Structure 1
């Protein structure tokens, strides 16, 4: 490496920062911290070790001004109360498991039934309600925040002691990466996601209906009246789920597809192309025509659940369709659907999954 390139590397590294500050205490008195990752290019990401929650993502728009583009609360108290997983790390199993039951290696397991008679997002006290251990660091091109948690055998009904690491990293080019890692001492099931709600013009627009959404999916998962997948991987051709070319979210609603009408908006899992490919690939693109902000979602996961905030609660300070979740994950109810990509994790295996949120500004 030349002296010039070494100097450039040092300058770039100095631009990256991580700021730690107190964020309050849990009901039982445990201290919680808030970490701000800065990349030196007018982008900031705020994350708390309570629930691994992303509380804010500030990115520039067409005028160069950085503004927050995700829903969140101003204090820890909002996250300690009941809320729809705003910004949270979700696990052990994101999305639904029918009846809160599954079988693994001939043994039946009963999970917490916290969505009617079904299990959702890890149970009554999932990963979003835990205080995670933290390590931070700066590399030559990333500000890194690593959180870890040990989920004990039997927690929410899941088998095995599960060691989990979630690594967030903010890059110089405007990307927020999330890498999930897990290992277990007994056969178990895992499925992690982040539950951030995006509105790329949040400071100036009350909903995301004018956002343009594209999903690189040829198929989606039809679901029953309780949002449990039927098991079919249905082609999107000639349906309202064909988002291979961008559409406004309002235009998707206007097509009045029975499945979308039933859920009052999108709340569906899309089957990404190259379903068995381990590499990170483009899954979705969200664009706001007013601010010109663009969000590209890359993932190694086989699916992406798109939820258009259909039941966001005004009592919490939010409104239906104010933001959209782009939840990279394995498919809902996979432990009960052998035709779906498996979510089983064995003691001699390591689970690794990567998702990347890349922000940019569209050319005028």
Structure 2
């Protein structure tokens, strides 16, 4: 187990966590951004399985949120406003008339305080930040702690903890784009996904939840038995068409299986298992990723990565029947998501 740190652009620090099996995870204090996850394929080749910029200065704007911590509220908030306890709160608009991923000054844009730690079996980073009352329009002073832990079982554990002095919306996530081919050798068309979910959230043409939950049965959104992502990269189903011929939808977990989601690449043999105590996940298949951005191992293009944004649903601010994002004053917020990397048998 090992931790290394390097100065980046004279203003940030990148930490690299290494375990005894050769897995490495690199994280910036800026935005809590995961810049690289290095894991072996079936032939022992250790390669990067997340998208990241070639030039670190591109993380300053990072419109694609590569690898970043997202909050206070992950996802879109309709109309950039919400009502809470008979009061209306107005947020920054950064996605048309809507508020996306905590706004332009969200948690992806701050430099976190970082404390590394190490034991015989794990190595990690504790990131802390105090988000002040009315940051980006949200009520409450919120103390936030996010812990990245790398184990000797090739697990990357993300623990999210927070407490607010006022009742406020809060749902945190990480926005890493995964591509298990390694070093971006291919798109994710042939990546095989399972999701333990029988219901997903219907979106309108602006990617805002309509308030309806749809049954996955008989659709390209039924991942309960597993399917390749390319099945949904089309306009044959209206909800795929709305998401620019892909997926950008919230799936509510049934929590009936050991893993809430799995991702497999048949060529490399890499498998990623996702376990979480979150109520659901936004799966985003980089449908809006522009061509030609200089990435660490090539150039960007559509369908180059898939995000598993484990979280509650911001639709709960405007509709009943969705997993709530409301954190009551003084109540502890404790969420965990674990990404376990293995090889196919």
Q: TM-score under structure 2 normalisation?
A: 0.95
Task: Check if 1:20 corresponds to 2:18.
Answer: no
Q: Deviations over 1:310-343 (max 9, x none)?
A: 0112242311001111111111322222321221
Which residue number in structure 2 is paired with residue 10 of structure 1? none
Is there any run of 5+ residues in structure 2 with no aligned partner, and where?
A: 295-299
TM alignment of 1:32-47, pairs within 5 A: 32-47=12-27
Which residue number in structure 1 is paired with residue 343 of structure 2? 361
1-side partners of 2:202 and 2:86: how far apart? 28
Larger Rg, first or second structure (1 or 2): 1
1-side partners of 2:95 and 2:3: how far apart? 37
TM alignment of 1:316-355, pairs within 5 A: 316-317=293-294, 318-355=300-337
Which residue number in structure 2 is paired with residue 291 of structure 1? 268
Structure 2 contact 234–241 (Cα < 8 Å) conserved: no
Structure 1 contact 240–255 (Cα < 8 Å) conserved: no
Is there any run of 5+ residues in structure 1 with no aligned partner, and where?
A: 1-15, 26-30
Q: How far off is 1:21 after superposition?
A: 1.3
1:77 alignment partner, SS class: helix
Structure 1 contact 112–119 (Cα < 8 Å) conserved: yes
Which residue number in structure 2 is paired with residue 4 of structure 1? none
Question: Normalized per residue, which structure has more helix?
Answer: 1
> Which residue, out of 123, 126, 139, partners 2:103?
123
Structure 1 contact 53–89 (Cα < 8 Å) conserved: yes
Q: How far off is 1:297 after superposition?
A: 0.9
Q: TM-score under structure 1 normalisation?
A: 0.90
> How many residues are matched?
339
Which residue number in structure 1 is paired with residue 297 of structure 2? none
1-side partners of 2:147 and 2:2: how far apart? 16
Which residue number in structure 2 is paired with residue 197 of structure 1? 177
1:198 alignment partner, SS class: coil
1:322 alignment partner, SS class: coil
TM alignment of 1:209-248, pairs within 5 A: 209-248=189-228
Structure 1 contact 91–193 (Cα < 8 Å) conserved: yes
Pick closer, same or farther for the CA change 1:101–1:204 going to 2, 3 Å: closer
Task: Check if 1:92 corresponds to 2:60.
Answer: no
Structure 1 contact 100–111 (Cα < 8 Å) conserved: yes
Structure 1 contact 97–334 (Cα < 8 Å) conserved: no
Pick closer, same or farther for the CA change 1:274–1:63 going to 2, 3 Å: closer
Which residue number in structure 2 is paired with residue 9 of structure 1? none
1-side partners of 2:325 and 2:304: how far apart? 31
2-side partners of 1:156 and 1:316: how far apart? 28
2-side partners of 1:42 and 1:57: how far apart? 11
Pick closer, same or farther for the CA change 1:345–1:297 going to 2, 3 Å: same
Task: Check if 1:266 corresponds to 2:225.
Answer: no
2-side partners of 1:348 and 1:327: how far apart? 25
Which residue number in structure 2 is paired with residue 74 of structure 1? 54
Structure 1 range deviating more: 192-201 or 204-213: 204-213
Q: How far off is 1:40 after superposition?
A: 1.3
Q: How far off is 1:75 after superposition?
A: 3.9
RMSD: 1.5
Q: Which runs of 4+ in 1 moved over 6 A?
A: none
Structure 1 range deviating more: 173-182 or 202-211: 202-211
Structure 2 contact 314–325 (Cα < 8 Å) conserved: no
Which residue number in structure 2 is paired with residue 13 of structure 1? none
Structure 1 contact 89–128 (Cα < 8 Å) conserved: yes
Q: How far off is 1:255 after superposition?
A: 7.5
2-side partners of 1:61 and 1:245: how far apart? 24
2-side partners of 1:321 and 1:259: how far apart? 17
2-side partners of 1:344 and 1:270: how far apart? 19
Pick closer, same or farther for the CA change 1:44–1:225 going to 2, 3 Å: same
